[in-house]
C-alpha cells in the first residue's frame, strides 16, 4: 500500500515504539544527553532516521517556554537603513542559534503597538526599530515586551537598552569639514520634522552653530528620497548658500542630478554633502562627500544588548554609534564670487 498524500509526520512516540524504548529516552538521545547507553543511542538514531523524524519545534517551544526566535519590527522594509539593521540582527542572532521574525508596520504609527506586542508574544525578545509612536506610548509598550531593545530612537527610560546611529555627530562631521573649507553659509535639506532621526540631525546643526558663531545655516524640509533632492534644487539656489547638507545620500544624489541639468557645477559653485554613504555615493559624478554610518553594527549591537546569549553586553546606557567622514569630490573650498 502506498503512503497517503497527507504525510503524517513521525512523532517522538513513533520513534520510541520503533526503537523499543520510552519517549523519554528518545528525547534524551535527540538532545544529546550523555547518559544514554551507546547501543540504545544507535538504535534510536536509526529509527529516527528511518522514520525521517524531526522534533516538532512547536511542541518544544511550548515545553521549553522559549522559541529561539527574536522579532524585528521596522516602520518600512523598503528603507535601506532598516534592511541593514534587519540583516545585522539576522546574522548575529543566527550565530547564536536564533531566528528572526519580521514585522513591517508600513509607517503606520498606530499599528506599532499591536505589532510589537504581537511579535513579542511569539518570540523570546524584540528589536524595535525607530518606532514612530510618542514617548508615552513607547514606554508603555516597552514595559510589556521585555526583553526589548530600541534602535534609532532616543527615549528617556531605563526599561530597555537603546542603540542608535549618532546622526548629530555625523552632521557635526560634515559641517566641520565644510567650515574648514571656508563655507559660512549652509543650507540643510531636512526630512520629516517629526522623525527622531531628523531631530538628531537638527541638534547637530544647533551644536555646530554654537561652535561656529560666524556660521549661518538655513533649514528647509524637503524629504528623504531622490525625488525630494531633485526638486529642492531651486530652493537651494535661491538661498545663495555655498554648501548643502542633505538629509541623506539619496537627497544629495537627487540634488546633484538636478544641479547638473541646471548647469550648476559641483563643487566649484556649490558644495554638497550627504549622510549614510550608500554604495553608489562613491560612483556618482562628482562622487559624494558623506558620512559612513555603521548600519549593520546597529543590528549586531542590538542583538548583543538583548542579552540572550553568553557573550552579551547588557549595559544599559544608550549606545551611540558614530560614523566617519568620507571626503570626496562633491565638496571644495569656498570661492569668492
Q: Among 282, 312, 316, 333, which residue sits at the site for a copy of itself (rule: CB under 8 A)? A: 282
Q: Which does 295 bind (CB under 5 to 8 A by kind): DNA, a copy of itself, none?
A: none
Of these partners, DNA, a copy of itself, none, which one is at the site of residue 230 (CB under 5 to 8 Å by kind)?
a copy of itself
When binding is defined by CB under 8 A, the residue of 21, 104, 155, 162 that contacts a copy of itself is 104
Is residue 67 near a copy of itself by the rule CB under 8 A? yes
Residues in the chain: 337
Longest pairwise C-alpha distance within the chain:
92
Q: Residue 103 or 204: which CB sits closer to a copy of itself? A: 103
Name the residues that contact DNA, by CB under 7 A. 9, 11-13, 20-25, 27-28, 30-31, 35-37, 40, 53-56, 58-60, 62-65
Smallest separation, CB 216 to a copy of itself (Å):
29
Taking residue 154's Cβ as centre, other Cβ atoms within 10 Å add up to 15
Closest distance to a copy of itself from the beta carbon of 287 (Å): 8
Q: Is residue 252 within a helix (H) or strand (E), and if so which, with residue range?
A: helix 249-262
Give DSSP secondary structure letters for 146-202: -SEEEES-----SSS-EEEE-HHHHHHHHHHHHHHTT--EEEEEE--TT-HHHHHHH
Contact between 321 and a copy of itself by CB under 8 A: the answer reads no
Q: Are 180 and 211 in contact (CB under 8 A)?
A: no
Compute how many residues bind a copy of itself; rule: CB under 8 A.
43
Which position among 19, 119, 245, 302 is part of the footprint of a copy of itself (CB under 8 A)?
119
* Segment (H or E) for 221: strand 216-221
Q: Is 86 a residue that touches a copy of itself (CB under 8 A)?
A: yes
Quote the cell numbers at residue 128.
524595535
On whether the CB atoms of residues 321 and 177 are closer than 8 A, the answer is no
Report residue 316 as a C-alpha cell. Answer: 544599559
Q: Is 78 in the site for a copy of itself (CB under 8 A)?
A: yes
End-to-end CA distance of the chain: 91
Q: Which stretch binds a copy of itself (CB under 8 A): 171-179, 180-188, 276-284, 302-310?
A: 276-284
Alpha helix positions (H), 38-108: 38-50, 57-64, 80-95
The footprint of a copy of itself on residues 125-164 (CB under 8 A) is 144
Choose among a copy of itself, DNA, none what residue 52 binds, the Cβ cut-off being 5 to 8 Å by kind: a copy of itself
Q: Select from DNA, a copy of itself, none the partner in contact with residue 257, using the beta carbon and a kind-dependent cut-off of 5 to 8 Å.
A: a copy of itself
CA angle centred on 213, ends 212 and 216, rounded to 5°: 90
Residue 103 or 131 having the CB closest to a copy of itself? 103
Q: Please choose which of DNA, a copy of itself, none residue 1 contacts, taking the beta carbon within 5 to 8 angstroms, the exact cut-off set by kind.
A: none
Sign of CA dihedral 293, 295, 297, 303: positive
Task: Among 18, 130, 163, 226, indicate the residue that binds a copy of itself (CB under 8 A).
Answer: 226
Residue among 282, 253, 275 nearest 173 (CA): 275
Chain centroid to Cα 289, Å, comes to: 23
Q: Which residues are near a copy of itself by CB under 8 A? A: 52, 54, 56-59, 61-62, 67, 69, 77-78, 83, 86-87, 90-91, 94, 99-104, 106, 117, 119, 121-122, 144, 225-226, 230, 253-254, 257, 260, 279-280, 282-285
Amino acid at each position: 500500500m502506498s503512503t497517503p498524500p497527507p504525510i503524517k509526520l513521525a512523532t517522538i512516540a513513533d520513534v520510541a515504539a520503533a526503537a523499543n524504548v520510552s519517549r523519554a529516552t528518545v528525547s534524551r538521545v535527540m538532545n544529546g544527553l550523555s547518559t544514554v547507553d551507546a547501543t540504545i543511542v544507535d538504535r534510536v538514531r536509526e529509527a529516527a532516521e528511518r522514520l525521517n523524524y524531526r522534533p516538532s519545534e512547536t511542541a518544544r517551544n511550548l515545553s521549553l517556554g522559549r522559541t529561539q526566535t527574536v522579532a524585528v519590527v521596522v516602520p518600512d522594509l523598503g528603507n535601506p537603513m532598516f534592511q541593514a539593521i534587519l540583516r545585522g540582527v539576522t546574522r548575529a542572532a543566527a550565530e547564536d542559534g536564533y531566528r528572526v521574525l519580521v514585522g513591517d508596520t508600513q509607517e503606520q504609527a498606530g499599528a506599532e503597538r499591536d505589532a510589537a506586542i504581537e511579535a513579542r508574544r511569539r518570540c523570546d525578545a524584540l528589536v524595535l526599530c525607530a518606532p514612530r509612536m510618542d514617548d508615552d506610548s513607547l514606554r508603555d509598550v516597552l514595559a510589556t515586551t521585555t526583553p526589548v531593545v530600541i534602535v534609532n530612537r532616543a527615549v528617556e527610560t531605563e526599561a530597555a537598552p537603546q542603540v542608535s546611529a549618532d546622526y548629530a555627530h555625523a552632521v557635526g562631521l560634515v559641517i566641520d569639514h565644510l567650515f574648514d573649507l571656508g563655507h559660512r553659509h549652509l543650507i540643510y535639506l531636512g526630512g520629516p520634522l517629526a522623525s527622531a532621526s531628523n531631530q538628531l540631525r537638527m541638534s547637530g546643526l544647533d551644536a555646530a552653530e554654537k561652535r561656529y558663531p560666524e556660521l549661518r545655516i538655513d533649514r528647509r524640509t524637503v524629504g528623504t528620497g531622490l525625488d525630494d533632492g531633485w526638486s529642492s534644487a531651486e530652493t537651494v539656489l535661491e538661498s545663495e548658500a555655498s554648501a548643502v547638507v542633505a538629509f541623506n545620500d539619496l537627497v544629495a544624489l537627487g540634488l546633484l542630478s538636478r544641479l547638473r541639468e541646471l548647469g550648476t557645477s559641483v563643487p566649484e559653485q556649490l558644495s554638497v554633502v550627504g549622510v549614510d554613504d550608500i554604495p553608489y555615493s562613491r560612483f556618482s559624478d562628482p562622487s559624494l562627500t558623506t558620512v559612513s554610518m555603521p548600519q549593520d553594527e546597529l543590528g549586531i549591537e542590538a542583538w548583543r544588548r538583548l542579552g540572550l546569549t553568553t557573550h552579551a553586553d547588557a549595559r544599559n546606557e544608550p549606545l551611540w554609534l558614530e560614523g566617519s567622514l568620507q571626503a570626496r569630490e562633491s565638496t571644495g573650498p569656498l570661492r569668492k564670487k
